[in-house]
Amino acid sequence: MTTLAGVCATGLCVYLFYALVKPERF
């Protein structure tokens, strides 16, 4: 079941993941 909250949570997880893996992007 895909919900707006689920999509936002997934996007946030991806954003945090990239922030941790590629801090130079910040």
Beta strands in 1-26 (DSSP E): none
Range of the domain at 17: 1-26
CA distances to 2, 5, 11, 25, 26 from 18, rounded to whole Å, are: 23, 20, 11, 8, 10
pLDDT of residue 25: 59
pLDDT of residue 16: 85
9-18 pLDDT per residue, tens: 888 888 888 8
How far, in Å, CA of 10 to CA of 14, rounded? Answer: 6
Of residues 16 and 1, the one with the higher pLDDT is 16
CA distances to 5, 7, 8, 12, 25 from 20, rounded to whole Å, are: 22, 20, 18, 12, 10
Asked if pLDDT for residue 8 goes beyond 60, the answer is: yes
Rounded to an integer, the average pLDDT of 3-24 is 83
Asked if pLDDT for residue 26 goes beyond 80, the answer is: no
How many domains are there within the chain?
1
